[in-house]
């Protein structure tokens, strides 16, 4: 898709309304992780250098159209100012007199953060009047929040139809990476999909099996696939009512020429706890697991098969860990697969793109996020893109 960027745009003196993702983790009114603030810096810096007046729009949490003091964006001001090395002004509202007065006081290169757009019910309803009220504060619109692009809200979609609209630098990086991953990828393409339940990733699996050459399925959802094939899974998490659906996905993959990698062995334990006694078992249709055995990670033979498939691939798309990576030793497969992919990506042999909250946390735990080609901080938007769905906030930027 072709979309406008800020390259070559006359920014001097312009009021730039910038939709950013500042839905950051907080504890006691203090930002505990500034990753999303850092992601917005390249766009803010570019606008400031161009002489624009930077007006930031964002949401925090789910106030459901009401003013909730605990969900104010004010705590973001200080850490953002430190990252920018410049003052950041704050307005107590995103529309109306307070917002207009704060915007009117800006000089070229200044930065202003407006209060939580979700304090107004018109935001999530994509109300035309609310979108028009937001637009009154700007001369151009920049969307730099891919993570919110799957929502057709006033600040993510409505504004793009009222002002000249551009993709920010983070949005541009995201879209270019996604195009490399599934739009026009180097083949063979491999996907790693994990997670607890098949039911939450049906659209994803159905879309991917038609695009990939290899698909490794891990996490609790792999148990459902093995159960569907008649394998014993002991007392492991399993959606037994999804067995028919799992078999249909496998048939679809076979018809499309996609090789599905499912666990042939697993690491099991009676309970999920650090230091718990574990054993590695072969998964068989005879059933080698007792009711007390629960699968918490794929085994070494399965891991070796996954590593080999990664080595044979030119592109990797990853969403979801292979095991319960938060608890050792059930992080082994996820960490080793991540380190292997990172090494190949770092050497230029693999385009490795990953996204989703648990995936990002797993890659951070493995210490390899910086070595992947791109790691998306977006959760729902990344998942919907992988499902093949159109994202309203992205579609609105199309030229």
pLDDT, residue 99, reads 98
- State the Cα–Cα distance between residues 168 and 5, nearest whole angstrom: 7
Q: Counting Cβ atoms within 10 Å, is residue 320 exposed (0-12), middle (13-18) or buried (19+)?
A: buried
Q: Which residue, 183, 241, 221, 367, is CA-closest to 298?
A: 221
* Residue at a domain's end among 112, 145, 172: 172
Q: Is residue 10 part of a domain?
A: no
Q: Is residue 7 part of a domain?
A: no
Q: Is residue 88 part of a domain?
A: yes
Does one domain contain both 134 and 266?
A: no
**Residue corresponding to tokens 């949490």:** 61
Does one domain contain both 137 and 221?
A: no
Paired tokens of 389 = 């769905």
User: In Å, how far from its chain's centre is CA 255?
Assistant: 29
The residue length of the chain stands at 399
Start-to-end CA span in the chain (Å): 8
Does one domain contain both 206 and 107?
A: no
Number of helices (H), then strands (E), belonging to the chain: the values are 14, 17
**What is the DSSP code (8-state) at residue 179?**
I
* Residue at a domain's end among 172, 193, 220: 172
SS3 of residue 333 by DSSP: helix
Q: Is residue 393 part of a domain?
A: no
Tell me if 312 sits within 8 A of 334, measured CB to CB.
no
pLDDT, residue 140, reads 98
Whether the bond into 188 is cis, omega within 30 of 0: yes
Along the 399 residues of the chain, how does pLDDT read in single tens digits? 688 999 999 999 999 999 999 999 999 999 998 989 999 999 999 999 999 999 999 999 999 999 999 999 999 999 999 999 999 999 999 999 999 999 999 999 999 999 999 999 999 999 999 999 999 999 999 999 999 999 999 999 999 999 999 999 999 999 998 888 888 999 999 999 998 999 999 999 999 999 999 999 999 999 999 999 999 999 999 999 999 999 999 999 999 999 999 999 999 999 998 889 999 999 987 667 888 999 999 999 999 999 999 999 999 999 999 999 999 999 999 999 999 999 999 999 999 999 987 888 899 989 999 999 999 877 788 888 888 888 999 999 986
The domain in which residue 58 lies consists of 15-172
Domain count, the chain: 2
Q: Is residue 397 part of a domain?
A: no
pLDDT, residue 88, reads 98
Q: Which residues are catalytic?
A: 36, 197, 357, 380
Does one domain contain both 101 and 240?
A: no
Paired tokens of 150 = 């799957």
- State the Cα–Cα distance between residues 66 and 23, nearest whole angstrom: 17
Does one domain contain both 282 and 252?
A: yes
Tell me if 214 sits within 8 A of 318, measured CB to CB.
no
pLDDT, residue 1, reads 62
Does one domain contain both 168 and 189?
A: no
3-state helix, strand, coil in the chain (%, to 5): 40, 20, 40
Q: Is residue 168 part of a domain?
A: yes
Q: Is residue 291 part of a domain?
A: yes
* Residue at a domain's end among 122, 140, 172: 172
Does one domain contain both 93 and 214?
A: no
Q: Which residue, 231, 219, 301, is CA-closest to 265?
A: 301
Instruction: From residue 48, give the alpha-carbon distance in Å to each of 106, 224, 271.
Output: 12, 52, 54
Q: What is the largest CA-CA distance in the chain?
A: 74
| Single pTM value for the model | 0.88
The CATH number assigned to the domain holding 221 equals 3.40.50.1260
Tell me if 116 sits within 8 A of 122, measured CB to CB.
no
Q: Is residue 236 part of a domain?
A: yes
Whether the bond into 69 is cis, omega within 30 of 0: no
């Amino acid at each position: 898709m072709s979309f406008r960027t800020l390259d070559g745009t006359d920014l001097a003196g312009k009021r730039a309304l910038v939709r950013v993702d500042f839905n950051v983790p907080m504890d006691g009114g203090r930002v505990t992780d500034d990753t999303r603030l850092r992601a917005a810096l390249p766009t803010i810096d570019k606008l400031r250098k161009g002489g624009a007046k930077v007006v930031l729009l964002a949401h925090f949490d789910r106030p459901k159209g009401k003013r909730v003091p605990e969900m104010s964006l004010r705590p973001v001001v200080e850490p953002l100012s430190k990252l920018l090395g410049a003052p950041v002004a704050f307005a107590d509202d995103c529309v109306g007199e307070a917002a207009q007065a704060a915007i009117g006081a800006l000089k070229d290169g200044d930065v202003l953060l407006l209060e939580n757009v979700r304090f107004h019910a018109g935001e999530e309803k994509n109300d035309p009047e609310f979108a028009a009220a937001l637009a009154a504060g700007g001369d151009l619109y920049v969307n730099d929040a891919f993570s919110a692009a799957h929502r057709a809200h006033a600040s993510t979609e409505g504004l793009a139809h009222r002002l000249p609209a551009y993709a920010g630098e983070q949005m541009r990086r995201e879209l270019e990476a996604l195009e490399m991953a599934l739009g026009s990828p180097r083949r063979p393409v491999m996907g790693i999909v994990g997670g607890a339940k098949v039911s939450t990733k049906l659209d994803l699996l159905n879309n991917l099996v038609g695009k990939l050459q290899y698909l490794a399925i891990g996490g609790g959802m792999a148990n459902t696939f093995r159960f569907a094939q008649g394998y014993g899974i002991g007392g492991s998490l399993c959606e037994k009512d999804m067995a028919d659906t799992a078999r249909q996905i496998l048939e679809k993959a076979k018809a499309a020429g996609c090789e599905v990698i499912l666990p042939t062995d697993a690491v099991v334990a009676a309970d999920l706890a650090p230091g718990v006694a574990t054993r590695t078992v072969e998964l068989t249709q005879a059933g080698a697991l007792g009711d007390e055995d629960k699968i918490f990670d794929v085994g070494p033979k399965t891991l070796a098969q996954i590593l080999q498939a990664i080595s044979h691939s030119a592109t990797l798309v990853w969403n979801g860990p292979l095991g319960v990576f938060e608890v050792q030793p059930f992080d082994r497969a996820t960490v080793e697969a991540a380190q292997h992919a990172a090494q190949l990506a770092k050497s230029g042999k693999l385009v490795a793109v990953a996204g989703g909250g648990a995936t990002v946390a797993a890659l951070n735990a493995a210490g390899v996020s910086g070595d992947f080609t791109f790691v998306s901080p977006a959760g729902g938007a990344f998942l919907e893109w992988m499902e093949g769905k159109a994202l309203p906030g992205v579609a609105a930027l199309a030229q």
